């Protein structure tokens, strides 16, 4: 009953949107973030965040620092993820393109678009 209602009202996020959400979480904490906080901030379970972080690290958009003593008996140290300069550049470009696409969609629909200040040409 609720499944069809929820699927009709909730829009599935694109993979790039999720990557941008992860980078935005990391941007707010430049000192680094544990995977649990990334999971909460991006609205994803940890098992889905891990492969995405691996992909972002391969592209050098995210880096990891290991800090602290090993946790209890498991010898696993705390891994803090942080966004790189390249990741911040990606996030800025992503937001610019997203805003442009929203603007173009408004123009296509025929609404009165609100022109972002970045796209207003200077008087000649």
Q: What is the pLDDT of residue 119?
A: 56
Residue 69 lies in a domain: yes
Q: What is the pLDDT of residue 71?
A: 58
Residue 47 lies in a domain: yes
Q: Give the integer Cα–Cα distance in Å for 44 and 31.
A: 22
Residue 120 lies in a domain: no
Residue 110 lies in a domain: yes
Tens-digit pLDDT string for the chain (124 aa): 444 444 445 577 889 999 999 999 999 998 899 999 999 999 999 999 999 999 999 999 999 988 776 555 555 668 899 999 999 999 999 999 999 988 888 877 665 556 565 555 555 5
Task: Give residue 30's domain range.
Answer: 12-115
The CATH number for 110's domain is 1.10.10.10
> How many C-beta neighbours within 10 Å does residue 96 have?
13
Residue 6 lies in a domain: no
Q: How many domains is the chain built from?
A: 1
Residue 123 lies in a domain: no
Cα within 13 Å of Cα(23), Cβ side: 25
Residue 73 lies in a domain: yes
Q: What is the pLDDT of residue 44?
A: 92
Residue 49 lies in a domain: yes
Whether the pTM exceeds 0.85: the reply is no
């Amino acid at each position: 009953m609720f499944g069809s209602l929820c699927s009709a009202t909730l829009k599935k996020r694109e993979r790039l949107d999720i990557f941008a959400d992860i980078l935005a979480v990391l941007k707010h904490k430049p000192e680094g973030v544990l995977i649990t906080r990334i999971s909460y901030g991006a609205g994803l379970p940890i098992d889905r965040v891990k492969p995405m972080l691996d992909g972002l690290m391969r592209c050098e958009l995210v880096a990891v620092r290991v800090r602290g003593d090993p946790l209890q008996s498991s010898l696993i140290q705390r891994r803090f993820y942080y966004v790189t300069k390249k990741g911040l550049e990606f996030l800025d470009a992503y937001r610019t393109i997203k805003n442009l696409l929203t603007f173009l969609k408004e123009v296509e629909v025929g609404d009165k678009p609100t022109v972002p200040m970045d796209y207003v040409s200077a008087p000649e």
